[in-house]
Amino acid sequence: MCFDGKKAVIIGGTGGIGKFVTQELAKTKCNLVIQGRHFSKDMQCQNIKQIIQNFDFHQNDFFSNLCASNIYEEVKNADILIVCYGPFFQQKLHLTSAEQWNQYVSLNLTMPGVLISAALPKMIEKNFGRIIVFGGTGTENISGFLTNPVYAAAKTGLCSLVKSVAAKYTENGITCNAILPAQVQIESLSANEIDKYKMKMPQKKLIDGTVVAKTVIYLLENSEFSGSLITMDGGWQRNKKN
């Protein structure tokens, strides 16, 4: 795939997994529009055309504000849409409030869905589009989760959405895929958190964010992948006990 002149919008592209994705895409010749709260000097690159830092995903009347924002306008003209943002939520079901249901399903399922719907018309018109979202390990199948059922339900729905987009729009030159990583080693984790997560992993190491980002590039470059749910968990989900 030739990235020259392609417009890539990355939601949550300045921290966590998104930062790795931005850094990898910045090596290409696409034009980057990055949404995120934090911007560090090591991310500076001439390919980054715009940084959108002033949007709060936790504000009241979230979707009205999203649809009126410059993020939404940028997404409507994107050739590539990558949604990295999707906050993890761990809470037993009987302790989960209505507000928490609304917040975490909105951010992990409805928000990427709204953005995908916004991006599709222009992608159809151009007969080209690349969409990548991020799920959670083990959410590619209908499963039971003891401690994070709301998050898992939203991410399982997101996996279904990926399949639906691929089923309908691959014929329009649009691919849609999801990457499902276990815990990635990111800058916000404390030393204690890193040690805790390592103990859960069969290889006793966290997922390498650079490998995740290179997988994103591979999916963007190869149109043979559409509707794929790429598990990146180092074997963890096959050994875990929910």
Are the C-beta atoms of 67 and 112 separated by less than 8 Å?
no
In this predicted model, what pLDDT tens digit does every residue of 165-192 receive, in sequence order? 999 999 999 999 999 987 766 676 667 7
In this predicted model, what pLDDT tens digit does every residue of 73-99 receive, in sequence order? 999 999 999 999 999 899 999 999 999
**pTM greater than 0.95 (yes/no):** no
In this predicted model, what pLDDT tens digit does every residue of 203-240 receive, in sequence order? 677 778 888 899 999 999 999 999 999 988 877 765 45
Pick the CATH number of 7-238 from 1.10.8.10, 3.40.449.10, 1.10.645.10, 3.40.50.720: 3.40.50.720
**E strand map for 2-160:** 7-11, 31-35, 48-52, 80-83, 129-134
Please, which pLDDT band fits residue 46 given cuts at 50, 70 and 90? low
- Give the residue from 68, 77, 136 showing the smallest Cα distance to 104: 136
Give the bridge partners for 10, in sequence order: 34, 82
Give the bridge partners for 129, in sequence order: 174
Q: How far apart are CA 233 and CA 217, in angstroms?
A: 18
